[in-house]
Amino acid sequence: MNYIKNILLVLIIISSFFHVSTAADPVKQLPEISKDHAKEYGKIIVRDFKGRIKPMNTLDLEVLRKLSGKSEIYDQNADQAILGIIMFPNQWSQVPLIKIGRHKNIRNLIKKRGKLGAYDDFFDKNGNYIFKDLVRKAFQTETRDRGKFEKELLKLDERINIFNMLVNQRLLYIYPIPYNSSQKWMSPYEIKQDADSNNNDELYTYYSKLFPAYNTSIGEAIKTNNWDLPNQIVNEFRENQISNATNIPSNSKFKFELLLNKLNIFQRVRNIYGLLGFLVLILFFIKVFKPSIFLDKAFKIVYVLVFLTFLFQMTGLGMRWYISGRAPWSNGYESLVYISFTTMLAGVIFGRKSWGGLAAALILSSVILMVAGLSLFDPEITPLVPVLKSYWLTIHVSLEAGSYGFLLLGAILGFINLLLMIFMKESNKSRVMKTIKELTIISEMTLLAGLVMVSIGTHLGGVWANESWGRYWGWDPKETWALVTVLVYAFILHLRFIPGMRGIFTYNFSTLFGFATVMMTYFGVNYYLSGLHSYAAGDSIPIPPSVYYTALIFAAISFFAYIKARKLKIN
């Protein structure tokens, strides 16, 4: 009996411990906004600090991604989470929400191991900001002299400030002032500051009472689960915005933007391309090394799925074009999405009867979209810088960036051919060589299309440069490397006319390493060289070690492929 009592006592102690831990968990204490009401709140019109007018849902997604790198957190979508932060800052300041970064010194200062930290973690017991002196010192350091610690610290400081601006309602430019000549939009914070000086103004009076009333209604709705009053306030306020604001986008554009946010097209397409790519790659190797297995029907089904996904991606680009009112390839994120699109376009055109070509295009497009989704690239729709406000953006950039997809596909086909050479034996030589020659022909077609596009794009870029800067050519780093790319690929496509260099190995080796010129034109110039073509650049980043490892792997594969080509006398 005593033994049983002891066991029960231990179980009671353990259960009480977990009960206390759960009760003390700040995440469990978070008030949850109704999803239906959050959806209505997301339709409010807001003007961001760059001057773009958009749905609140878009701002909420951008802010949450900036704070935490996520589109949803703690089973709450962006609208629920951001509205919760605004209305219940005390509760949200205690939950891990702000992305800390990877630098160990920053983690050690706040004594956190996880990826996220709570807002309160960055302040001591007296309410003092623990990074105050370090941030001041980082700002005083010249940009070129800032190390990784300073850069990570300033990014973290920006996230903390964004959270603070949310709490103080300084990010919410939701009040249009109709009688202001420049159509000024104000935040609840500014309205509150100007309330005394405009207490006789009917609109200011309405605005100054609106947000406190909305805040109270949210608190009551959470208690009673009746969201009629908050919904009514939001709908009334949106009607007021439409009647008082000028130059706001059409209702159809707002609906399309909300739909684009909901569909999350490019992330879904990335996942589908990745799954289909690995499936086709497996089927491709089965077809090469086990030709007795009949897979033509499976290939047709997969191709139809690929084509439908490609149309879905094209729809996403079209929606983004319609919403922004400009070609969707003017910044780093958009250019990567567009390059993924053109890579898949090349795959759909030239991979119609080639398993290897289609597999390469699918995996490439998926990887490019994955890179676009990293924190280095902001998916926000931004206004154009003045020099890009030209119809040449649609023509020149579409040809230049579009060519990269075709040239990249050619490089990967070259890589696949080098791998096939390594696995080639005397017993399967004829069968594998047939596949290699087929992929080489497709590679030549994709490179030819890419060369035509990059050549025309470079020439038309000179015309645009004359319109913008008064000269056709100035040997700017981007212009120089675009020319290098044209010359290198022209040389690669003429290798077959040069005695001693017309072999299949030489061509595929050249296509693989020739793509380094495109990487330098797209990434190297934007991030490491100063010039006039810096519109799509992000933060300056060190060369990742993976670049060196990748180059070594490619060199090793090329070496073994060369040995095998010499041994089997491949021409």
Q: What is the chain's mean pLDDT, rounded?
A: 85
pLDDT, position 104: 82
The pLDDT-based confidence of 513 (bands split at 50, 70, 90) is very high
The pLDDT-based confidence of 33 (bands split at 50, 70, 90) is very high
Residues 542-550, mean pLDDT to the nearest whole number: 77
DSSP string, 527-568: HHS-SS--TT--S--PPPHHHHHHHHHHHHHHHHHHHHHHHH
Do both 13 and 42 map to the same domain? no
Instruction: State percent of the chain over pLDDT 90.
Output: 46
Q: Rounded to whole angstroms, how far apart are CA atoms 138 and 159?
A: 16
pLDDT, position 318: 95
Do both 85 and 18 map to the same domain? no
Do both 74 and 23 map to the same domain? no
Do both 18 and 161 map to the same domain? no
Do both 101 and 4 map to the same domain? no
- Residue 417 lies inside a defined structural domain of this protein: yes
pLDDT, position 542: 63
pLDDT, position 22: 43
Do both 5 and 56 map to the same domain? no
Residues 144-173, mean pLDDT to the nearest whole number: 89
SS (H, E, C) 388-450: HCCCHHHHHHHHHHHHHHHHHHHHHHHHHHHHHHHCCCCCCHHHHHHHHHHHHHHHHHHHHHH
pLDDT, position 299: 86
The pLDDT-based confidence of 72 (bands split at 50, 70, 90) is very high
Length reported for the chain:
571
Q: Residue 286: pLDDT above 50?
A: yes
Do both 510 and 415 map to the same domain? yes
pLDDT, position 295: 77
- Residue 377 lies inside a defined structural domain of this protein: no
- Residue 538 lies inside a defined structural domain of this protein: yes
Q: Residue 348: pLDDT above 90?
A: yes
Q: Residue 531: pLDDT above 60?
A: no
pLDDT, position 9: 47
Q: Residue 178: pLDDT above 50?
A: yes
Q: Rounded to whole angstroms, how far apart are CA atoms 57 and 383?
A: 18
pLDDT, position 8: 40
The pLDDT-based confidence of 449 (bands split at 50, 70, 90) is very high
- Residue 286 lies inside a defined structural domain of this protein: no
Do both 5 and 41 map to the same domain? no
The answer to whether 289 touches 434, Cβ cutoff 8 Å, is no
The answer to whether 87 touches 110, Cβ cutoff 8 Å, is no
Residues 507-513, mean pLDDT to the nearest whole number: 94
- Residue 294 lies inside a defined structural domain of this protein: no
Selection from 277-286, 352-361, 443-452 with the highest mean pLDDT: 443-452
Residues 70-81, mean pLDDT to the nearest whole number: 92
pLDDT, position 354: 83
Token pair, residue 433, equals 């060589």
Backbone angles phi, psi at 355, to 5 degrees: -65, -45
pLDDT, position 105: 83
pLDDT, position 80: 94
The answer to whether 495 touches 506, Cβ cutoff 8 Å, is yes
Q: Rounded to whole angstroms, how far apart are CA atoms 423 and 429?
A: 9
The pLDDT-based confidence of 255 (bands split at 50, 70, 90) is very high
Q: Rounded to whole angstroms, how far apart are CA atoms 132 and 84?
A: 27
Q: What does the pLDDT look like over 455-492, one tens digit per residue?
A: 999 999 888 888 877 888 888 888 888 999 999 999 99
* Domain endpoint, select from 179, 210, 244: 244
Please count the CA atoms within 13 angstroms of the CA of 8 that sit on its side-chain side: 5
More confident residue, 400 or 205: 400
Residues 529-542, mean pLDDT to the nearest whole number: 53
Do both 505 and 564 map to the same domain? yes
pLDDT, position 198: 62
Do both 21 and 157 map to the same domain? no
Sole residue written with tokens 């300073």: 150
* Domain endpoint, select from 244, 263, 292: 244
pLDDT, position 484: 93
Nearest CA to 58 among 38, 74, 78, 73? 78
Query: Domain residues for 179?
Result: 31-244
Q: Residue 13: pLDDT above 50?
A: no
pLDDT, position 524: 73
The pLDDT-based confidence of 500 (bands split at 50, 70, 90) is confident
Backbone angles phi, psi at 17, to 5 degrees: -65, -45
DSSP string, 204-252: HHHHHHHHHHHHHHHHHHHHH---HHHHHHHHHHHHHHHHH--SPPPHH
Nearest CA to 260 among 362, 308, 306, 328? 328
Q: Residue 60: pLDDT above 60?
A: yes
The answer to whether 519 touches 485, Cβ cutoff 8 Å, is no
Q: Residue 330: pLDDT above 50?
A: yes
Token pair, residue 32, equals 């949850």
- Residue 351 lies inside a defined structural domain of this protein: no
The answer to whether 331 touches 381, Cβ cutoff 8 Å, is no
Residues 26-53, mean pLDDT to the nearest whole number: 90
Q: What does the pLDDT look like over 95-105, one tens digit per residue?
A: 999 999 777 88
Do both 19 and 110 map to the same domain? no
pLDDT, position 252: 92
CB atoms within 10 A of CB 225: 7
- Residue 355 lies inside a defined structural domain of this protein: no
The pLDDT-based confidence of 34 (bands split at 50, 70, 90) is very high
Q: Lowest mean pLDDT: which of 109-113, 420-424, 495-499?
A: 109-113
Do both 94 and 7 map to the same domain? no
* Domain endpoint, select from 192, 216, 244: 244
Residues 153-164, mean pLDDT to the nearest whole number: 93
The pLDDT-based confidence of 76 (bands split at 50, 70, 90) is very high
- Residue 2 lies inside a defined structural domain of this protein: yes
Q: How far separated are the first and last CA of the chain, in Å rounded?
A: 87
The pLDDT-based confidence of 296 (bands split at 50, 70, 90) is confident
How many domains, the chain?
3
